[in-house]
Structure 1
Amino acid sequence: TAIEDYNQAIKINPNYANAYYNRGLARYNLGNNQTAIEDYNQAIKINPNYANAYYNRGLARYNLGNNQTAIEDYNQAIKINPNYANAYYNRGNSQSNLGNKQAAIEDFRKSADLYKQQGKESDYQDALKRIKQLELG
């Protein structure tokens, strides 16, 4: 399996951040949020500027209902990569869950702008829909 392959890669090179990150993705896709977080932690420890590892750790934390720590991870991902549209979008979801309506709208607006610039039309439309839902709700 992919996980076994990453285990082998990590055994060969314990400082291979990508192997931890990819094993984290595989575990996340199997619904193992907690073990995915442990892998993302390792990837971040090896490479503190790993925006995707912060972002995906945020997703796993969000899935576990930890909106505040998810926001902290999205903040880090955005700090490293200010054009990380998905990080703004998902931070908006967490803000919305915490009842921070205005912050959520701002995040969805920022993600919509970035999606538009990046030519991601369906993501752009989705972000606009989320803004409308919050403004009407």
Structure 2
Amino acid sequence: MANVVEGEPRNSQEWHGSYLDEDGMVADIVAKVKADPVALQRWLDPVSWRPPTMNPYLAELKKEPDHAGCLWHAGMSIRNFYGLWHASNPHTAFDLHDDVEITDGIITDKRHPDNFSDRVIERVKAELAKLSEVA
């Protein structure tokens, strides 16, 4: 984590390697998901996005599919893969002295990595939904 604080990307396969803007990230993720029919199906299934039922008895009662909750942590994966927490990322970096939008004690600033990845996910889901309507 020290590398993230210092603004230096980790030497890891987890990171995309360049700082894409929001449109670039959406296009990149849409292309990757479209190339995999199973991934496409999972991104479009609402059960993939909510936490899975942890109690095996309840899961059996609900007849959840095996992929229930598989995208529950997608936002975290996107933030890590695209380096959204890196201090040198021009799309998400802000200084403590900057005007940061905070509402009721919650950072609602568009530059915050959590908010940025949430927007990307919603845009990707919308693009994939349009594609599935055409198919």
Question: Normalising TM by the smaller chain, what interval?
Answer: under 0.3
More helix by share: 1
TM-score by length of 2: 0.26
TM-score w.r.t. the length of structure 1 is 0.26
User: Which of these two proteins has the greater Rg computed from alpha carbons?
Assistant: 2
